[in-house]
Homo-oligomer: A and B are copies of this chain.
Amino acid sequence: MSKQSTKKPCDSMPVKLNADPTEEAFAKLAWAIAHPARVQIMRLLIGREACVCGEIVDCLPLAQSTVSQHLKILKESGLIQGEVDGPKICYCINPDKLEQLKTLVAGL
């Protein structure tokens, strides 16, 4: 099947994509998890309901400041949220945003 056969390959009318703001939101969410450390953090939080920053640092081979930066990125994307608990900060996932991401990807 090196040559295409049934599906008409190339020409139809030019579709003219409207600048859907969805694409930007989509790309932003995808970018939030487009780094191995952030994927790890997401999986860690999903598996544990909640976790203090210090423990996340212990689980990653990165400096505390770097982990804090990744947490900030994830928080800005809305995928996670942090709650102050005394001197510590408890991070947990935002189920709504996560569901939104899943829906967007599944809708591809």
Select the residue from A10, A33, A55 with max chain B CB neighbours within 10 A: A10
Shortest Cβ distance from residue A18 to the other chain B in the assembled complex, whole angstroms: 10
A: number of interface residues (CB 8 Å)? 51
B34 touches A38 (CB 8 A): no
Shortest Cβ distance from residue A11 to the other chain B in the assembled complex, whole angstroms: 7
Interface bits A3-40 vs B (CB < 8 Å: 1, else 0): 01001111110111101000110111011011110111
Q: Told that A14-B59, A46-B108, A106-B106 touch, could you supply 11 new A-B pairs with CB distance under 8 A?
A: A10-B50, A10-B51, A15-B44, A16-B58, A17-B40, A23-B39, A26-B39, A27-B36, A30-B30, A31-B34, A43-B108
